[in-house]
């Protein structure tokens, strides 16, 4: 070979006869660096650009497998036009999956396509013999005996037909049923398989649809002034279940540090009897693998988990990777903590906030391997006690590499584990945590109040580039955040915000009983901290108060359970309404057999009215017949006609409609029948 020519042949090309190209595979997160997220049982739709030089026909397929499988399964792709191809497969098991695309120049498809266009008789007879050879080759590749025999007969018949009438030859050559059989056994010797195996995680249903309720176990006592126990928590479960929550989230349940303990309302000096912050973890009694002695024993904890399960509730536990100054880790592993210039350990701070009672871990320690192993073992310890859901405190202040490794380690043994990232931080950091493996994430919903803010943000969450991996969990309040709208908006604001959280997001949560009991006083003007915050003291809650929103929340959560449209974010669409102080949106199932329209008055002080515009065609509703809107919050029914309809909402009664759309089946006299 001429040396100059040899130098022009690309190094590393395995076979120059490979002509197919695969590009622009979707879904893919960062080109396959991170996993796409789906729910077990979902149909995963995969698309790619597949093409080759010239005019030959292509064959394309999605190759997919659960990582526990040895063999790949195959889903043939169909052309969409403009060299775009699509196929789907069902992720039928929880856990990690892989998929990729294979494409090849398909000699049989090309022959059949050209044969159908030929008109010259001599060309047809020659082409028939070529086709018979291709069909015979497919027969040799067929592993199914029935397919093999069918193809052998077809090849023989085609050779015979080549000597007969042209019309008969065409019928034999273009037999559609047998062509499908031949296409099941393509010649793949020159196929190109995309080099990236794209990862996918199939989570259990609660990853997509969950309803969280947070409360402090130490405030669960029915007796004022007494420290609550896990047995008191068991007694609270019927109350939580009646409100329709399926996840109970407990702040840290470990011993609380005594050194530098905070007092009431975050006072630097604790008074005798002050209980401290549960997030200041660790004392002489133990650390992250210990229970606070006043809560009870591990037997009590397991009883609580079992009792919750009997109510259809899972227990979520807080994972806060930080230590009180008297945590055993501080004396046993001082190298795991960052030192100040004077040799003391650096406490946590986010200026101007200071957390003198908390020591953060140093993720740049030379002993990082041992520290990583110990911290991951904390999660595994609580999994051993029946917990499968974890809310992770401030994960954005810990190493990204640690989270990717630790979550993968846990999921390798317990793929049903759910991790919620409490990361109120910069958008790209929140998205990175989701890519690294966090199942759900807190959101900015707490600070989105206007129609424009809510529309823009939730459109991004439902349909933006992060929708393949970022699952929002909307909270109108937390123990750390009492937003201004709840401080000044009164009962109407509390009702409106919980409706927005529960209907805009398939995952949402509340910090209670503060929420249903309308806790709204800040520690000081301009602060989002609660006055008399449970983070620093025991509270006693009167759950039977007549002004409680518990009944309203229960009706709202029943609507979520009974309407599949509210259990996903994929269908969210905002509807025009001619009043800026109102917002309207719809969710629906793919088959449009369940449609829910929500309208909320965003003005907590005064009634508002407006015309809502329904997208009748998109929602599958008739343009010339009435349809029923059943408001499940007030159990009221409205007959709507056409695209524009009037809505009026008074926050003194209810600031929202959550309406199930029911199409009319038939009309007899003056009665309308709906399903």
What's the average model confidence in pLDDT over 337-358? 88
What's the average model confidence in pLDDT over 276-299? 98
What's the average model confidence in pLDDT over 161-176? 91
Q: How far is CA 575 from the centre of its chain?
A: 24
3-state secondary structure of 232: helix
Q: Using 50, 70 and 90 to split pLDDT, how confident is the model at 349?
A: confident
Tens digit of pLDDT for each residue in 1-56? 343 433 444 445 578 899 999 999 999 999 999 999 999 999 999 999 999 999 99
Q: Output phi, psi for 363, to 5 deg.
A: -80, 5
Residue with tokens 């009167």: 542
d(CA 662, CA 629): 6
User: Per mean pLDDT, which range of 75-84, 123-132, 571-580 is the poorest?
Assistant: 123-132
The answer on pLDDT for 575 being more than 80 is yes
pLDDT for 225 equals 93
- For residue 513, whether the previous peptide bond is cis, meaning omega lies within 30 degrees of 0, is yes
pLDDT for 272 equals 95
The answer on pLDDT for 666 being more than 60 is no
What's the average model confidence in pLDDT over 118-135? 91
pTM of the model: 0.93
Contact 397, 430 (CB under 8 A): no
Tens digit of pLDDT for each residue in 585-637? 999 999 999 999 999 999 999 999 999 999 999 999 988 899 999 999 999 99
pLDDT for 664 equals 67
Tens digit of pLDDT for each residue in 530-564? 999 999 999 999 999 999 999 999 999 999 999 99
Take residue 547 and report the two structure tokens written for it: 């002004």
* Neighbouring-strand partners of residue 333: none
d(CA 454, CA 461): 10
The answer on pLDDT for 350 being more than 60 is yes
Tens digit of pLDDT for each residue in 238-276? 999 999 999 999 999 999 999 999 999 999 999 999 999
C-alpha distances in angstroms, 476 versus 158, 422, 507?
71, 14, 12
pLDDT for 13 equals 55
The answer on pLDDT for 481 being more than 70 is yes
pLDDT for 665 equals 53
User: Per mean pLDDT, which range of 45-49, 171-175, 411-415, 500-504 is the poorest?
Assistant: 171-175
pLDDT for 670 equals 39
Take residue 528 and report the two structure tokens written for it: 């989002």
pLDDT for 58 equals 95
The answer on pLDDT for 130 being more than 50 is yes
Q: Is the dihedral of CA 512, 598, 521, 353 positive or negative?
A: positive
Catalytic residues: 393, 422
d(CA 8, CA 465): 40
What rounded mean pLDDT belongs to the chain? 94
Contact 284, 357 (CB under 8 A): no
pLDDT for 353 equals 77
pLDDT for 7 equals 42
Half-sphere exposure of 226 (CA within 13 A, CB side): 10
What's the average model confidence in pLDDT over 648-656? 96
Q: What angle do CA 59, 28, 398 make, to 5 degrees?
A: 155
**Which residues have C-beta within 8 Å of that of residue 269, sequence separation ≥ 6?**
263
d(CA 200, CA 177): 35
């Amino acid at each position: 070979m001429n040396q100059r020519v040899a130098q022009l042949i690309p190094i590393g090309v395995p076979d120059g006869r490979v002509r197919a190209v695969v590009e622009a595979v979707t879904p893919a997160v960062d080109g396959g660096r991170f996993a796409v997220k789906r729910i077990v049982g979902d149909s995963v739709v995969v698309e790619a650009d597949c093409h080759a030089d010239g005019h030959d026909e292509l064959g394309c397929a999605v190759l997919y497998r659960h990582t526990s499988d040895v063999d790949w399964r195959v889903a043939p792709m169909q052309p969409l036009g403009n060299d775009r191809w699509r196929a789907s497969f069902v992720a039928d098991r929880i856990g990690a999956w892989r998929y990729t695309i294979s494409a090849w120049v398909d000699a049989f498809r090309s022959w059949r396509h050209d044969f159908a266009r030929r008109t010259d008789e001599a060309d047809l007879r020659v082409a028939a013999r070529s086709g018979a050879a291709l069909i015979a080759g497919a027969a040799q590749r067929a592993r199914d005996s029935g397919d093999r025999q069918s193809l052998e007969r077809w090849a023989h018949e085609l050779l015979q037909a080549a000597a007969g009438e042209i019309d008969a030859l065409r019928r034999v050559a273009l037999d559609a049923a047998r062509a499908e059989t031949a296409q099941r056994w393509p010649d793949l010797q020159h196929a190109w398989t995309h080099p990236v195996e794209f990862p996918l995680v199939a989570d259990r249903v609660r990853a997509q649809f969950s309803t969280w309720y947070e409360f402090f176990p130490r405030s669960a006592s029915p007796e004022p002034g007494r420290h609550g126990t896990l047995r008191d928590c068991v007694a609270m479960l019927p109350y939580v279940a009646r409100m329709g929550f399926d996840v109970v989230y407990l702040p840290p349940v470990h011993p609380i540090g005594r050194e530098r303990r905070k007092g009431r309302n975050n006072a630097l000096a604790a008074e005798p009897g002050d209980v401290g912050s549960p997030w200041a973890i660790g004392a002489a009694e133990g650390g992250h693998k210990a229970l606070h002695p006043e809560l009870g024993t591990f037997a009590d904890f397991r009883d609580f988990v079992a009792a919750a399960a009997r109510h259809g509730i899972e227990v979520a536990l807080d994972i806060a990777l930080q230590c009180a100054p008297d945590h055993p880790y501080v004396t046993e592993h001082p190298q795991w903590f960052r030192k100040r210039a004077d040799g003391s350990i650096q406490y946590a701070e986010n200026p101007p906030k200071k957390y003198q009672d908390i020591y953060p871990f140093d993720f740049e320690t030379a002993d990082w391997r041992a520290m990583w192993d110990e911290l991951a073992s904390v999660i595994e310890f609580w999994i051993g006690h029946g917990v499968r859901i974890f809310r992770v405190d401030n994960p954005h202040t810990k190493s990204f590499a640690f989270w990717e490794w630790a979550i993968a380690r846990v999921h390798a043994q317990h793929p049903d584990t759910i991790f919620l990232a409490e990361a109120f931080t910069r958008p790209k950091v929140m998205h990175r945590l989701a890519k690294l493996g966090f199942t759900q994430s807190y959101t900015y919903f707490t600070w989105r109040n206007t129609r424009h803010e809510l529309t823009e943000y939730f459109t991004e969450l439902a349909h933006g580039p992060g929708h393949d991996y970022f699952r929002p969990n909307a909270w109108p309040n937390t123990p750390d955040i009492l937003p201004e709208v709840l401080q000044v908006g009164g009962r109407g604001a509390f009702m409106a915000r919980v409706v927005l959280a529960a209907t805009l997001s398939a995952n949402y949560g509340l910090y209670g009983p503060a929420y249903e009991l309308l806790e709204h006083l800040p520690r000081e003007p301009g602060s989002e901290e609660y006055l008399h915050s449970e983070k620093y003291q025991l509270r006693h809650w009167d759950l039977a108060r007549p002004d409680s929103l518990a009944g309203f929340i229960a009706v709202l959560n029943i609507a979520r359970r009974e309407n599949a449209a509210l259990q996903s974010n994929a269908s969210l669409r905002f509807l025009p309404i001619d009043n800026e102080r109102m917002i309207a949106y719809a969710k629906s199932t793919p088959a449009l057999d369940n449609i829910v329209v929500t309208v909320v008055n965003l003005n907590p002080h005064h009634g508002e009215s407006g015309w809502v515009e329904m997208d009748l065609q998109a929602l599958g509703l008739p343009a010339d017949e009435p349809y029923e809107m059943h408001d499940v919050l007030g159990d009221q029914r409205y007959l709507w006609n056409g695209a524009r309809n009037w809505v009026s909402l008074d926050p003194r009664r209810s600031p929202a409609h959550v309406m199930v759309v029911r199409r009319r089946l038939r009309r007899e006299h003056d009665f309308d029948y709906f399903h």
